[in-house]
Amino acid sequence: MDDRAQPKQRVQNRVNDALRLIEERLADTLTLEDIAAAAHFSTYHFARLFRLQFNDSVMRYVRGRRLSRAVDLLGSTTEPILTIALECGFASNETLTRTFRKQFGISPSVYRRNALRLTLPTQRRLVMSETTEQLDLQPTFEKRDAFSVVGCADEFLPGATQDIGELWTRFVPRAPEIEHRIDGATYGVCCLPGEGPKNPESFTYVAGVEVENLEKIPEGMIGVELPAREYAVFAYTGGIGPELPKTMQYIFGQWLPESDYEADGSDFEYYDDRFDPVTGQGTFFIYVPVKARN
């Protein structure tokens, strides 16, 4: 779906439309595609925006809201557990029991018997509010020919991006193994679904270097081909810390949806001698592949 399907509607309103859909359809079969469509985003970019905004995955949030509703019904009604399971989007009593036990450590029936003296950590309902911090960050635009990157890769779930630092720690000592390296710069490539991830809400991140070709890839590494694209390029100087997620949230949650462009492939970070990997300080560049909206 075109991420610009409703260009006059503010981003937070679009996200809140999706959050309302979740509440209205907790009892129904609900997919990531359904939820993203309610916000007029592609599934990938909605999942990414949701992760940046709420530090959670879309479907994990849905599961949390279903369990929260089940907790409420178990403690406030005498409905059979099977009826509650179906009302909360679980296919059977057994499915609810298994999920409930995994989340809370007790069964629904045990909770019901002890509801008056137990408080479970349920998922509150989310609402996206207007951001109070407006960033004045505008990109330059650059056209790049197709190129290839070889490096170490891993799949990351929402909220676990701090582990990317460990991936770089594994990669840097092995970088000399890579043949046909073009220059001293390094790349952090965020692959689109279908280019590596097993889970549509996770993403594969490649810490690597540009190479002349993919003929020789060291064991334990992968090669990624990035086609010729035009990129919106954001210079970032805030250091590897709390300001970086705010910047990414601005780029993908505000600038891109409100621009005249839509994303057109895998984005990447570009690090050269203006960035110090030891201190995590300096300037690096965030490249977002874009094309004009239809």
In a domain, 123, yes or no: yes
At 263, the pLDDT band (50, 70, 90 cuts) reads: confident
Q: Are 243 and 260 in contact (CB under 8 A)?
A: no
Question: Do 163 and 236 reside in the same domain of the chain?
Answer: yes
Question: Do 32 and 78 reside in the same domain of the chain?
Answer: yes
pLDDT score, position 132: 47
Q: What are 203-212's pLDDT values in tens digits?
A: 889 999 999 9
Task: Give the mean model confidence (pLDDT) for residues 248-256.
Answer: 87
Note the pTM of the prediction, 2 decimals: 0.81
Q: How far is CA 270 from CA 160, 165, 175, 184, 265, in A?
A: 21, 15, 16, 11, 16
CATH number of the structural domain spanning residue 243: 3.20.80.10
Looking at 130, 161, 189, the residue that finishes a domain is 130
In a domain, 75, yes or no: yes
Question: Do 122 and 182 reside in the same domain of the chain?
Answer: no
Residue 5, pLDDT > 70, answer no
Question: Do 43 and 100 reside in the same domain of the chain?
Answer: yes
**Nearest alpha carbon to residue 128 among 41, 188, 209, 198:** 41
- Percent with pLDDT over 90 in the chain: 64
Question: Do 218 and 112 reside in the same domain of the chain?
Answer: no
In a domain, 56, yes or no: yes
In a domain, 113, yes or no: yes
Q: What are 116-152's pLDDT values in tens digits?
A: 999 999 999 999 876 545 567 899 999 999 999 999 9
Looking at 130, 150, 183, the residue that finishes a domain is 130
Question: Do 283 and 197 reside in the same domain of the chain?
Answer: yes
In a domain, 182, yes or no: yes
**180 is in which domain, residue-wise?**
140-292
Number of compact structural domains in the chain: 2
pLDDT score, position 262: 87
In a domain, 152, yes or no: yes
Question: Do 126 and 157 reside in the same domain of the chain?
Answer: no
More confident of the two residues 248 and 66: 66
CATH number of the structural domain spanning residue 98: 1.10.10.60
Question: Do 154 and 121 reside in the same domain of the chain?
Answer: no
Question: Do 280 and 154 reside in the same domain of the chain?
Answer: yes
Question: Do 148 and 287 reside in the same domain of the chain?
Answer: yes
Question: Do 97 and 160 reside in the same domain of the chain?
Answer: no
Q: Name 218's Cβ contacts closer than 8 Å, sequence gap at least 6.
A: 150, 174, 177, 178
More confident of the two residues 70 and 162: 70
At 194, the pLDDT band (50, 70, 90 cuts) reads: low
SS3 sequence of the chain: CCCCCCCCCCHHHHHHHHHHHHHHCCCCCCCHHHHHHHCCCCHHHHHHHHHHHHCCCHHHHHHHHHHHHHHHHHHHCCCCHHHHHHHCCCCCHHHHHHHHHHHHCCCHHHHHHCHHHCCCCCCCCCCCCCCCCCCCCCCEEEEECCEEEEEEEEEECCCCHHHHHHHHHHHHHHHHHCCCECCCCEEEEEECCCCCCCCCCCEEEEEEEEECCCCCCCCCCEEEEECCEEEEEEEECCCCCCHHHHHHHHHHHHHHHHCCEEECCCEEEEECCCEECCCCEECEEEEEEEEECC
Looking at 71, 96, 130, the residue that finishes a domain is 130
In a domain, 58, yes or no: yes
Question: Do 49 and 8 reside in the same domain of the chain?
Answer: yes
In a domain, 135, yes or no: no
Q: How far is CA 197 from CA 179, 202, 236, in A?
A: 26, 6, 26
